[in-house]
């Protein structure tokens, strides 16, 4: 068996990454409450970039039935990678674009189509945020902590 070389920096950026993530999460809450959907979506994309860097290739990309990584392929996908799962949110958002952030209509009342699209966008952004929060936990950077020595 080949031994995999692990490269470890003398200086860990782990704390800096957690601080950036914390600031980005704060921004998502602020922008979602303010109805600034474009900024909320941009915040979520930045969180994705912070988290995706820790995914292994076989987690990031789709896998075929043999467990081989599919980067670009016509094969039937067996397991969706995190990248495909994440991109599905943007595909849903593209169907109901553009973002109509709160206050962009001035003093005019938004029409029913705008309200309907904003409600759909809000729900997709909530799911995108939940996906990222769960991924953060899976990667050990979030709220879930399990010590191997703990008895359950």
Handedness of CA 112, 113, 114, 117 (dihedral sign): positive
- The tens digit of pLDDT for each residue in 33-70 reads 999 999 999 999 999 999 999 999 888 888 877 667 66
- State the pTM of this model: 0.78
Query: What is the pLDDT at residue 72?
Result: 58
Mean pLDDT of 101-113: 68
The pair of three-digit structure tokens given for residue 38, joined into one six-digit string: 């474009």
Instruction: Look over the chain and give the mean of its residue pLDDT values, rounded to a whole number.
Output: 83
- The tens digit of pLDDT for each residue in 2-17 reads 566 666 666 677 788 8
Reduced to 3 states (helix: H, G, I; strand: E, B; else coil), residue 124 is: helix
- The tens digit of pLDDT for each residue in 65-105 reads 766 766 555 556 677 889 999 999 999 999 998 888 765 55
**136 and 21 Cβ atoms separated by less than 8 Å:** yes
Helices vs. strands in the chain: H and E counts, helices first: 5, 2
Angle at 49 between CA 44 and CA 51, to 5 degrees: 90
| CA–CA gap between residue 47 and residue 32 (Å, rounded) | 15
Query: What is the pLDDT at residue 67?
Result: 65
């Amino acid at each position: 068996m080949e031994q995999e070389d692990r490269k470890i920096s003398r200086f860990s950026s782990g704390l800096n990454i957690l601080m950036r993530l914390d600031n980005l999460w704060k921004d998502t809450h602020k922008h979602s409450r303010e109805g600034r959907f474009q900024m909320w979506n941009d915040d979520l994309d930045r969180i994705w970039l912070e988290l995706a860097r820790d995914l292994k290739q076989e987690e990031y990309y789709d896998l075929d039935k043999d467990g081989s990584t599919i980067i670009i392929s016509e094969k039937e996908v067996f397991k969706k990678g995190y990248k495909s799962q994440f991109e599905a949110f943007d595909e849903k958002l593209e169907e109901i674009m553009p973002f109509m952030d709160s206050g962009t209509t001035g003093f005019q009342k938004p029409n029913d189509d705008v309200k309907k699209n904003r409600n759909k966008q809000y729900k997709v952004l909530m799911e995108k945020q939940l996906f990222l929060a769960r991924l953060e936990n899976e990667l050990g950077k979030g709220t879930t902590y399990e010590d191997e020595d703990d008895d359950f």
